[in-house]
Structure 1
Amino acid sequence: MRQRMLSLPPHPPHAYDLAESDTSTTTHPSITDTDRRDSQHAFVSWLSRPPVELGISAVDVDATARSLFARRLTAMRTAQEGEMDPIDVRGYGMWCCEAWHAGKRVLVKLPERGEEERLYMVVIVGEAGEMRLDNLFSTQRDVVAEKGMHRWTADCAPANESAVAKEQGEEEDQGAEYINDADDFWAGFSDDDDAGGKAKVQAGASVAVDSRVEGDVTEQEKAIKDIVRGAYTLHRSIRSPGTDSVEEFIQLVRSAITTA
């Protein structure tokens, strides 16, 4: 594991969210902008590695933290409104290249379209079709175009069903069981956690849309979606006892995850 090799802590450091809007009832006067920025940078430094396989030799920590936490805040606001899924499967693209087929890797690009600073995730597909986050980084370079990557399909990394799965005829979403790990890793929440700071915001969130429709979503894409959702429910470390609980927000996010 990268963290062990670099003598980094086994668990991600606490990272404060972006300052919430003026409509929020929660304030944290003890947290300065410097504290917030430093905590976000520490988290990204712990998580991300240089994506050398894409020709990038260093992580842009500032850009990655800025992009990740801005998208998390957008997802939070969308979930608060409760009218749409905070993570839309049509809002990102999945890409691959011939060299990645043997290693069963997938590059997730957020947003799928647009000229803004892009957030990328490298995901590894396991032998049974399970998805595991390998890296996360941000860059203004369009690595998809630079590397001549093609749209990812299930044929790029065919999943080998286990004998038990075949006998039982399991057809559930393979990514469903991994969202638990994603939540634990990214968000640090447990059933009895009471993380503070539920924002009451009215701002909407635009969702990037491409030609795909929900009915065409594959099991592997659903697993990717679960990992993205786990990333966006990232680690809320503001735990002041006088603030509102964010349990409702977490339930909103998790309620959109199905097992069939």
Structure 2
Amino acid sequence: MKIEAIDLQSALTEASRSLECSVMDLEYEIIQHPRKGFFGFGRKKAIIEAKAKKRILKKNPKKEFTSSKNHKPETHEPKQENKIEIKNEKNKSQKEKYTVKSDEIFDSFHRESKGVRNTQDILDEIRIQLVKLLESSQFKIELSELRMYDEDCVLIRLDGEDAALMIGKEAHRYKATSYLLHNWINLKYNLLVRLEIAQFLENQIQGMQLYLQSVIEKIKIHGRGQTKPLDGVLIKIALEQLRAEFPDKYVGIKQNNDQRFVVINDFFKKDE
């Protein structure tokens, strides 16, 4: 029987259910080892060929029992030494429990006094996890820079031979990677992510600056305006640049069906 699952353990569990036997009673051959891939890219499932072992029934020899009317069960009175040992064991266990409890109180106090985590510790954790992910991927790409972009945002710069493949056609892999990194880092560390792969983000910023020049001129003339429909990183770039250009105007994102664009007007102040 061929079984596919997300990992080897799941495949063995599924095989044991299908064959109605325990995992210990399985004979199996691994056809394909599982691979996590990089953020879902290049992921492979575990594939095994499994069958149940042939069971050999053994006859247990009958045990002979002799009974006697005069036979009485032996009773052993605990010796005085055993009583002392039991008493000492009870006292020892009580002392050990008390020690564990005090350790827990100390650890709790230590955690509370530690306070806010060090930014460098967070960056080190992110670096370790990112390097592991990149090494397990099929792309020739590495982490070239990791630092705080500002107090609320982490800059992650990736580069290598397969940078173009990591970006993908119409930046679909870039968007997916940026989205997954943001979900992980924002959920765990409450930080935003600025992802740069090769010069992709820098080129996007330069292209958006050229496009926004005409938008800015129209806003200065009419007092309000909006961008063309944007998505992904482009709408973030436009939002940042227009807010910097018009700090006294309302600059926000408006959505119409599946399209999103940046609007600028005088009707609402930014802080209202």
TM-score by length of 2: 0.25
The structure with more helix, counted as a fraction of residues: 2
The structure with more strand, counted as a fraction of residues: 2
Greater RCO (Cα-Cα under 8 Å, separation 6 or more): 1
